[in-house]
A and B are shown apart, each in its own frame.
Chain A
């Protein structure tokens, strides 16, 4: 703070802080607060209400007719009383129809249907699997680039990894679709080898396996795993590896005892990013499954908002996801014994 003041002066510092505060408020705090607020109430809309109002109106017509027919003043007064009561009821019902009552509570969270809860758990499980698979795939790549190649080769490899990311994410996912489709690249290859045939539809239905979503997700988010790991491994002194080897340690022990402890913050960040991106990914499962191997939770949330128009349960669903992500971050920090400070690096 003081340093900012010293290096940029009062006005610029003020601008920086205002902008940061604005960003925090408008882009992060307000939407989240809105979500939380929406997730905490629901509207109790009574489906029978319209009918009941109609019935009350016809009852009233009858009563008004009765009123004209009544001959004793006592009877008249009696009917008038019932008409008044009915009028009050109708007014109350109409008020409820225009402004249905809002109830506050945790119902949006607790009344998630069994099916939706299963999808919720499945999405978390799948995202964990994607994260672990991505880690298994990316760690060796990151290590190889950081330590085993010459600087020139490392730059080239990095470029090779980054170039596909110049293409839109959707296009990259569609590329996988083309590869894995019924009549896609792999099946065509298999057909060419005579292993499957398009005529009798004996192709391998890759897209119906959740594995295809895994593949596309891993591919979509590899960089988020590779970069943090690469950055930390890169800072490891090469002599540490040689010292370990010189003392008789094999490749696995060197990694377990020297490289991984050093790369922990990077691994934690990579896992957190990949998990959060996977669990919240909408386009990848949407494109890859085309609705054939069940929903992901993100698709569910989308439908709550934009198809069922049920913003309240949508908000509750998406806030649950936020909570899961926060929980995941905390667990990763605990498991890898890294602090916020390490992660921020």
Chain B
């Protein structure tokens, strides 16, 4: 394993009077696939540029493999950056692109050419060595960029939304490819994305950011099952939200008084009685109620259904709140018109202090 860990210690980044990244302390382990997830403009690229050395944090330190990077420039750090627009050199051939880092290190032409050809073969681009990057498709360019970054044998590979320009099919293929390369090389990957699905499928751990603040860091299951803030709960995956006031707590559970009656969920923030709270429950943990009743049940009106293939989305309305239920597609979704009962188990719901939620979750 040749990856190194990256640590941000009390890092703050200001541009003039504007704080792009609030005080952040973050450790990215050696050899892990780490994603930074957040909406546009939240400061993801800024963090990446601090790690790669293009900008110096206004406060705090960046350490890579226990070494303080201080004022070291990008050329002297053990990192390689894959740009949002790839930034391949259009006037060089593909192999020269890949060999450029070696050229800068004074490796002789024959050696670097061989190395570039090997790397292009690794990313599946045999036969394209002498072409210009402009003669390649989007996915192929992507792979040249990856090979070019790997050529300098970085300990940390930084990827700034490298898949955002690709179409869905290619994106899914490249996800697997990237993951595979990461496993083979053992390099630490810091992957930036605003696509929560991408972050969930690829990462070992995720940091979710909002407006310059890292809201939560954790492995994918933790982020999905135990979101710490309303923003994380709604930004990562879909969640039904029901607002109310806490009426009782105990045994790690909280009861919330809502327009739909008393609902119970896991008490994450150790709430006190009387506080405004939000209850989140995933659509796939919610259900229509026919026979055995779960812990929480309330009345709802059926609105419409979207067939997604293997499952269906059922949209309900309870008062002013919408409530979505994912159901496996086993046929027989008829007879839903009018009032029905929906519900969920308390263990599947999270109750937390009320806060700002992502209005339009997941734009991917």
Which residues of A does B touch, CB under 8 Å? 237, 239-240, 242-250, 253, 257-258, 261-262
Of the residues B52, B76, B83, B100, contact of A257 by C-beta under 8 Å: B100
Known contacts A239-B87, A253-B104; is-contact A245 B92 (Cβ 8 Å):
no
Bound CA–CA A237/B79 (angstroms): 21
Bound CA–CA A242/B73 (angstroms): 11
- Point out the residues of chain B lying under 8 angstroms from A261, CB to CB: 91
Bound CA–CA A261/B100 (angstroms): 15
**Closest CB-CB distance, B157 to chain A, in whole Å?**
11
Subset of 12 A-B contacts with CB under 8 Å: A239-B83, A239-B87, A240-B87, A242-B74, A244-B104, A245-B73, A246-B52, A246-B80, A247-B75, A247-B152, A248-B101, A257-B89
Bound CA–CA A244/B100 (angstroms): 8
Q: Does B217 contact A (CB under 8 A)?
A: no
**Closest CB-CB distance, A170 to chain B, in whole Å?**
42
- Point out the residues of chain A lying under 8 angstroms from B80, CB to CB: 246-247
Chain A residue with the shortest CB-CB distance to B80: A246
Inter-chain contact A257/B92, CB cutoff 8 Å: yes
Of the residues B54, B79, B105, contact of A242 by C-beta under 8 Å: B54
Of the residues A240, A246, A248, A258, contact of B105 by C-beta under 8 Å: A248
**Closest CB-CB distance, A172 to chain B, in whole Å?**
37
- Point out the residues of chain B lying under 8 angstroms from A253, CB to CB: 103-104
**Closest CB-CB distance, A342 to chain B, in whole Å?**
12
Inter-chain contact B101/A247, CB cutoff 8 Å: yes
Query: Using a Cβ cutoff of 8 Å, how many contacts connect chains A and B?
Result: 61
Q: For chain B, residues 113 to 152, give those with C-beta under 8 angstroms from any C-beta of chain A.
A: 148, 152
Q: Does B85 contact A (CB under 8 A)?
A: yes
Chain B residue with the shortest CB-CB distance to A237: B87
Inter-chain contact B104/A262, CB cutoff 8 Å: no
- Point out the residues of chain A lying under 8 angstroms from B91, CB to CB: 261-262
**Closest CB-CB distance, B134 to chain A, in whole Å?**
13
Q: For chain B, residues 46 to 88, give those with C-beta under 8 angstroms from any C-beta of chain A.
A: 52, 54, 73-76, 79-81, 83-85, 87-88
**Closest CB-CB distance, B182 to chain A, in whole Å?**
19
Bound CA–CA A262/B105 (angstroms): 22
Bound CA–CA A253/B101 (angstroms): 11
Inter-chain contact B54/A250, CB cutoff 8 Å: no
**Closest CB-CB distance, A116 to chain B, in whole Å?**
44
Closest 7 CB pairs of A and B: A239-B87, A247-B101, A249-B104, A248-B104, A243-B87, A246-B74, A261-B91
- Point out the residues of chain B lying under 8 angstroms from A249, CB to CB: 75, 100-101, 103-104
Interface residues on B, range: 20 to 34
**Closest CB-CB distance, B79 to chain A, in whole Å?**
8
Chain B residue with the shortest CB-CB distance to A264: B91
Bound CA–CA A32/B105 (angstroms): 54
Bound CA–CA A253/B102 (angstroms): 12
- Point out the residues of chain B lying under 8 angstroms from A262, CB to CB: 91
- Point out the residues of chain B lying under 8 angstroms from A240, CB to CB: 87, 89
Bound CA–CA A258/B79 (angstroms): 21
Known contacts A242-B54, A242-B74, A257-B92; is-contact A247 B87 (Cβ 8 Å):
no
**Closest CB-CB distance, B42 to chain A, in whole Å?**
20
Of the residues A242, A248, A257, contact of B87 by C-beta under 8 Å: A242
Inter-chain contact B74/A239, CB cutoff 8 Å: no
- Point out the residues of chain B lying under 8 angstroms from A244, CB to CB: 89, 100, 104
Inter-chain contact B74/A245, CB cutoff 8 Å: yes
Inter-chain contact A242/B100, CB cutoff 8 Å: no
Of the residues B54, B84, B100, contact of A247 by C-beta under 8 Å: B100
**Closest CB-CB distance, A252 to chain B, in whole Å?**
11
Chain A residue with the shortest CB-CB distance to B100: A247
Chain A residue with the shortest CB-CB distance to B96: A257
Bound CA–CA A239/B162 (angstroms): 14
**Closest CB-CB distance, B207 to chain A, in whole Å?**
22
Inter-chain contact B85/A250, CB cutoff 8 Å: no
Inter-chain contact B104/A246, CB cutoff 8 Å: no
Bound CA–CA A262/B89 (angstroms): 10
Inter-chain contact B152/A242, CB cutoff 8 Å: no
**Closest CB-CB distance, A50 to chain B, in whole Å?**
70
- Point out the residues of chain B lying under 8 angstroms from A242, CB to CB: 54, 74, 81, 83, 87
- Point out the residues of chain A lying under 8 angstroms from B105, CB to CB: 248
- Point out the residues of chain B lying under 8 angstroms from A250, CB to CB: 75, 104
Bound CA–CA A250/B74 (angstroms): 11
Bound CA–CA A249/B85 (angstroms): 20
Inter-chain contact A245/B75, CB cutoff 8 Å: yes
Bound CA–CA A150/B5 (angstroms): 35
Known contacts A257-B89, A257-B92, A262-B91; is-contact A243 B81 (Cβ 8 Å):
yes
Bound CA–CA A257/B90 (angstroms): 11
**Closest CB-CB distance, B229 to chain A, in whole Å?**
33
**Closest CB-CB distance, A257 to chain B, in whole Å?**
7
Bound CA–CA A249/B73 (angstroms): 11
Inter-chain contact A247/B148, CB cutoff 8 Å: yes
**Closest CB-CB distance, B53 to chain A, in whole Å?**
8
**Closest CB-CB distance, B330 to chain A, in whole Å?**
50
Of the residues A248, A257, A258, contact of B75 by C-beta under 8 Å: A248
Inter-chain contact A258/B104, CB cutoff 8 Å: no
Bound CA–CA A245/B52 (angstroms): 11
- Point out the residues of chain A lying under 8 angstroms from B103, CB to CB: 249, 253, 257
Chain A residue with the shortest CB-CB distance to B160: A239
Inter-chain contact B83/A243, CB cutoff 8 Å: yes
**Closest CB-CB distance, A91 to chain B, in whole Å?**
75
**Closest CB-CB distance, B115 to chain A, in whole Å?**
13
